[in-house]
Amino acid sequence: MVKLDIDLEKKSLRKILLEKRDNTSANLMEIASKKIQKKLERIDVFKKAKKIGLYYPTGSEIYTNDIIQKLLSESREIYLPKVIGENLEFKKINDFSDLESGKFDILEPKENCQSDNSLDVIIVPCIGITASGDRLGYGLGFYDRFLSKNKIPTIAITLEKQIVKNIPVAQHDIQIDWIVTEDQLINTQR
């Protein structure tokens, strides 16, 4: 498939899946997020991780605030992405006061937070995903660029209804190791 065709197909699929996710009630999103948080604890790489990459939710993404809060209370190190030019850099936060509005109006760590990209596991946002771990993000390639340079186990957290049969895959797309939804936990590395 030609790159232009892949990009157009992804754009179309992204629009459909975002509409579907955006139409999820806040109440249902809260319930799903809590179920996902419990399921994360069943993944060894997550359970054993000391340095965890996460993201601060925006729009209709899975709520990660409770996950972040719980991990901080367990004295685990939490790193959130900061957009620097075309790349992501993960910076340590000690609490939510370490965040400020960044590029795309998403909360990200302040400049003075310590950087460290050698994480034990990273939880990746997604708009859609296949059961084999092909992920559809927002289309800017930040996570794919970061993960191509940093070999870190990945977990995508998403709603069950965001799992699709096929997502067009480009050469630079990175496959996700684990998928956690409100209903299931999928190891794509079998």
Range of the domain at 74: 3-187
Strands 77-84 and 87-93: antiparallel
Task: Give tens-digit pLDDT for 102-128.
Answer: 888 889 999 999 999 999 999 999 999
At 79, which helix (H) or strand (E)? Answer: strand 77-84
Residue 144 reports pLDDT greater than 70: yes
Mean pLDDT confidence for 66-92: 95
Contacting residues for 11 by C-beta, under 8 A, at least 6 apart: 139
- One-letter amino acid identity for 72? L
CATH label of the domain that carries residue 147: 3.40.50.10420
81, 88 contact by CB (below 8 A): yes
Distance CA 176, CA 83 (A): 21
How confident is residue 3, by pLDDT bands cut at 50, 70 and 90?
low
Mean pLDDT confidence for 164-174: 89
**Residue ranges of the alpha helices (H) in 23-158?**
26-40, 44-47, 65-73, 142-149
Residue 86 reports pLDDT greater than 70: yes
- One-letter amino acid identity for 78? I
Distance CA 126, CA 61 (A): 8
pLDDT at 97: 96
pLDDT at 93: 98
Q: How many domains does the chain have?
A: 1
